[in-house]
């Protein structure tokens, strides 16, 4: 079962520079565990305390998973997963 | 060094002034590898805050899809500071997620939102390291790339 996962520039060091990789899993959590097997170190950049990091956005078929069940969001063959770092900042330290 | 055309430079300042006292934010996209910021894309600050900015997550996905379709990348990521200097804060450094981009900061403090010069500075932010760079404002790029303003997003 193949799921296309699109990797942002800042995480491409983990994927050997690849912009997209194949993933597998019945949920986003399983997909990330599989990504960690294939691309060690990437999970820590995506997940903190069993939740998606505050400034990381993950989309399944264009839906932000924050609105579809978070890491428990189900996946199916042929889905596309997009990972994007938030574009955020500001004077507040 | 950041090379930017006068019209895009001025458009960033105009956006910062318009959204003052909230922080303004956006991207200037350009062809991958060109290092030329050609497509000005003002974004909505979903945080609507004087001390924080964040692109809406839906807008963010749409933006990156458009850039992908156009073989573009974010050459500039810009935002304003409205009460402090145009220098990356700890938050800016921690959240900088585009190691290839020029991070432009403008400051509209001390009345600069109304008149007078606006501080316009550019940085590279890679692995928590900030490096300021020279800004070269040119009338137009040598290849004659025209300045095409994009449709403004709805502002609150």
Contacts of A12 (CB under 8 A, 6+ apart): A18, A19
pLDDT on residue A1:
56
Of A10, A64, A87, the CB nearest to B58: A64
Judge whether B95 and A89 are in contact, CB under 8 Å.
yes
Residue B150's pLDDT band, with cuts at 50, 70 and 90, is: low
Is B43 in Cβ contact with A64 (below 8 Å)? no
**ipTM value of the model?**
0.93
pLDDT tens profile B91-143: 999 999 999 999 999 999 998 888 888 999 999 999 999 999 999 999 988 76
| pLDDT in the model for residue B155 | 47
Interface size, chain A vs chain B, as Cβ–Cβ contacts under 8 Å: 88
In this complex, is the C-beta atom of B83 within 8 Å of any C-beta atom belonging to chain A? yes
SS3 B114: coil
CB atoms within 10 A of CB B21: 13
With bands split at pLDDT 50, 70 and 90, how would you rate the model's confidence at A55?
very high
Listed in sequence order, the residues at least 6 apart from B154 whose beta carbon sits closer than 8 Å to its beta carbon are B44
Q: What is the pLDDT of residues B42-97, one digit of tens each?
A: 999 999 999 999 999 999 999 999 999 999 999 999 999 999 999 999 999 999 99
Q: Is the pLDDT of residue B41 over 50?
A: yes
Mean pLDDT of A63-76: 97
Beta strands in A12-90 (DSSP E): 20-23, 47-48, 51-52, 56-60, 63-64, 80-85, 88-89
42-61 in chain B: CB under 8 A from chain A = 43, 47, 49-55, 57-58, 60-61
Number of neighbours of residue B130 by Cβ within 10 angstroms: 14
Judging contacts by C-beta atoms under 8 Å, the chain A residues touching residue B88 are: 89
pLDDT score for B34: 94
Q: State the average pLDDT over residues A18-36.
A: 97
Q: Does the CA dihedral B119-B123-B127-B129 come out positive or negative?
A: negative
Nearest to A10 among B43, B90, B98 (CB): B98
pTM for this predicted structure: 0.91
Interchain pair B97, A82: CB under 8 A? no
Which residues, other chains included, contact B14 with Cβ-Cβ below 8 Å and sequence gap of 6+?
none
Which secondary-structure segment (H or E) carries B9? helix B6-19
Give the mutation candidate from B45, B47, B60 for the A interface (greatest A CB count, under 10 A): B60
- With bands split at pLDDT 50, 70 and 90, how would you rate the model's confidence at B148? low
Q: What mean pLDDT do residues B19-32 have?
A: 97
């Amino acid at each position: 079962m193949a799921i296309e996962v699109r990797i942002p520039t800042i995480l491409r060091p983990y994927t050997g520079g690849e912009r997209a990789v194949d993933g597998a899993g019945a949920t986003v959590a399983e997909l990330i565990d599989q990504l960690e097997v294939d691309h060690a170190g990437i999970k820590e950049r995506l997940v903190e305390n069993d939740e998606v990091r505050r400034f990381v956005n993950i989309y399944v078929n264009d839906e932000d998973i924050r609105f579809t069940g978070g890491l428990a969001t189900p996946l199916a063959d042929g889905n596309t997963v997009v990972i994007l770092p938030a574009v955020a900042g500001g004077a507040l330290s | 060094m950041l090379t930017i055309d006068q019209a895009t430079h001025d458009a960033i300042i105009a956006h910062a002034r318009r959204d003052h006292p909230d922080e303004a934010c956006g991207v200037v996209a350009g062809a991958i590898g060109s290092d030329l910021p050609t497509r000005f894309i003002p974004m909505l600050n979903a945080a609507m805050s004087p001390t924080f900015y964040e692109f809406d997550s839906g807008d963010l996905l749409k933006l990156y899809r458009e850039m992908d379709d156009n073989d573009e990348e974010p050459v500039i990521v810009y935002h304003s500071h409205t009460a402090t200097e145009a220098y990356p804060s700890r938050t800016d450094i921690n959240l900088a997620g585009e190691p290839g981009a020029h991070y432009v900061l403008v400051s509209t403090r001390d009345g600069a939102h109304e008149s007078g010069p606006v501080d316009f500075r550019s940085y590279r932010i890679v692995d928590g390291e900030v490096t300021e760079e020279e800004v070269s404002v040119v009338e137009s790029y040598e290849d004659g790339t025209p300045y095409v303003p994009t449709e403004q997003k709805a502002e609150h």
